[in-house]
Amino acid sequence: MAILKILQYPDDRLHTVAVPVAKVTDKTRLLIKDMAETMYAAPGIGLAATQVDVHERIIVIDISEEHNQLLVLINPEIVANSGQSDYEEGCLSVPGIYGKVRRAESITVQAIDADGKSFVLDAQGLLAVCIQHEMDHLVGKVFVEYWSALKQARALAKLKKKQRSIM
């Protein structure tokens, strides 16, 4: 097991479009284990492979309080959605920055699990928001990029200031 390095916004590699996983192998499962360990250690509730600089369509999520309900989504596709929600989001790649994004309230997602088995999941609320947020990473989109140029500039300035104070 290993804790992986999480790319920090603004990093161009966060704009990479991930490719589908052709076959779920032991190598895929090892990556998933490391992604889960990285997410739990942070701690966070979701992590996309893009964020650890692996550009394959893989997501791990765990919104449970006990951190014992890991959800693995390989090659996820949203097959239905409805409603709208404005949820306050954050991101392990954009630490300290939080804000709302408009998304679907309910989604139906089809994906493959770590055993290579296809499944369909209905999600609402935080889980639905988290899946949509992580799926955006797989197409190179970071949540702050939904915001106005002004709000993005403010977020970037805050991040830069924080990075300076660490160095």
Binding site for Co ion (CB under 5 A): 91
10 sits near ligand QAP (criterion: CB under 6 A): no
Dihedral of alpha carbons 103, 11, 54, 93, sign? negative
CB proximity list for 120: less than 8 A, separation 6 or greater: 79, 108, 109, 110
Structure tokens at 125: 């609320």
Structure tokens at 64: 């449970």
90 sits near ligand QAP (criterion: CB under 6 A): yes
142 sits near ligand QAP (criterion: CB under 6 A): no
End-to-end CA distance of the chain: 29
The 8-class DSSP code of residue 150 comes to: H
**Shortest separation between residue 116's beta carbon and ligand QAP, angstroms:** 25
Q: Which stretch binds ligand QAP (CB under 6 A): 21-29, 75-83, 88-96, 153-161?
A: 88-96
87 sits near ligand QAP (criterion: CB under 6 A): yes
Q: Which stretch binds ligand QAP (CB under 6 A): 5-13, 44-52, 70-78, 109-117?
A: 44-52
Distances in whole angstroms, Cα of residue 118 to Cα of each of 54, 126, 136, 156: 22, 23, 21, 39
Q: Which stretch binds ligand QAP (CB under 6 A): 66-74, 82-90, 111-119, 144-152?
A: 82-90
Return the ∠ at Cα 29 (arms to 26 and 32), rounded to 5°: 155
Catalytic residue check, 88: no
99 sits near ligand QAP (criterion: CB under 6 A): no
Residues that bind ligand QAP (CB under 6 A): 42, 44-46, 87, 89-92, 95-96, 129-130, 133
Provide the annotated active-site residues. 134
